[in-house]
Amino acid sequence: MSPRRPLVSGNWKMHLTHLEAIQVVQKLSYALERGPQGAVEVSVHPAFTALRSVQTVLDADEISVALGAQDVHWEDSGPWTGEVSPVMLAKLGVRYVIVGHSERRQHLGETDGWVNRKLRATLRAGMTPICCVGETAEQRDAGRTEEVVVGQLHAALAGVEPAEAARLVVAYEPIWAIGTGRTATPADAQAVAAALRVAVGERWGPDAAGGVRIQYGGSVNERNAADLVGQPDVDGALVGGASLDPVAFAAVVAAARPR
């Protein structure tokens, strides 16, 4: 059995007002099976406007779900209208921060350089980045998947220490699989996750390679999760659409239990 504890993360994207988010997280706490839940770690990533409300519910009901954010700025404070800093998130009890999601890279101008700054700022604030990498359909067809994702990984992790790399989460999310209902095959997800782990080992050493958790993301649901997360180098899932349905999301969590 892998020494790494799987992490299943719900990326709610730009869905759910704070009132709706409260309902979803309450339903999720019922849907997650009671009893020993420690085998799988779970995080939810509401919009910024719902973070405080969700945090209050998680704390009050002692729900063992970690609070996550979808993005962060790299400065602790300053004249950055509209941005949210790592210090602000850490103060709210945020534990995981998604950085470099492909929707931000593709539609909002996020560069590798920004992703690197955000990732290091997240670590500096004591939180854990979930660093997203993934290839387009054209890149996959051209046989460039590994080159692309390893390149993104190196750019995102530039300047990171081995001990920091060991506690990172990397999400392998093929862009053509996000929100499309198409997933990588379990064998493809395993091959890319293994290539990412080898790349971490080559640059940051064996402890980092053994410690870094690699999620698969892209149309994960309660039906396909077990096969994808069951791969030896896949340590959980980053779930978009299905995470908005607490019952489906809880089923993905159950499917991620190590067997």
236 binds ligand PGA (CB under 6 A): no
3-class SS of residue 161: coil
Minimum CB distance to ligand PGA, residue 162 (Å): 27
151-190 residues near ligand PGA, rule: CB under 6 A: 173, 178-179
Q: Quickly tell me which residue has 């799988």 as its tokens.
A: 40
134 binds ligand PGA (CB under 6 A): no
Q: State the sign of the Cα–Cα–Cα–Cα dihedral 175, 176, 177, 183.
A: negative
Q: Where are the alpha helices (DSSP H) in 125-185?
A: 137-141, 145-156, 162-166
Stretch that binds ligand PGA, among 59-67, 205-213, 237-245, 246-254 (CB under 6 A): 237-245
173 is catalytic: yes
219 binds ligand PGA (CB under 6 A): yes
Minimum CB distance to ligand PGA, residue 79 (Å): 31
- Sole binder of ligand PGA in the list 217, 248, 249, 254 (CB under 6 A): 217
Rounded Cα–Cα distance for residues 160 and 247 (Å): 37
3-class SS of residue 77: coil
Instruction: Determine the straight-line distance between the first and last CA of the chain, rounded to whole angstroms.
Output: 8
Is the distance from CB of 185 to CB of 140 less than 8 angstroms?
Answer: no
Q: Which of 93, 92, 94 is nearest to 70 (CA)?
A: 94
68 binds ligand PGA (CB under 6 A): no
Is the distance from CB of 20 to CB of 251 less than 8 angstroms?
Answer: no
Binders of ligand PGA: how many residues, by CB under 6 A? 12
Stretch that binds ligand PGA, among 62-70, 136-144, 195-203, 211-219 (CB under 6 A): 211-219
Active-site annotation holder among 41, 45, 101, 164: 101
Is 184 or 209 the residue whose CB approaches ligand PGA more closely? 184
20 is catalytic: no
The one-letter amino acid at 55: Q
Alpha carbon separation from 1 to 6, 64, 171, 222 (Å, rounded):
11, 23, 20, 22
Is 100 or 240 the residue whose CB approaches ligand PGA more closely? 240
Minimum CB distance to ligand PGA, residue 148 (Å): 17
238 binds ligand PGA (CB under 6 A): yes
- Tell me the catalytic residues: 101, 173
Residues that bind ligand PGA (CB under 6 A): 11, 173, 178-179, 217-220, 238-241
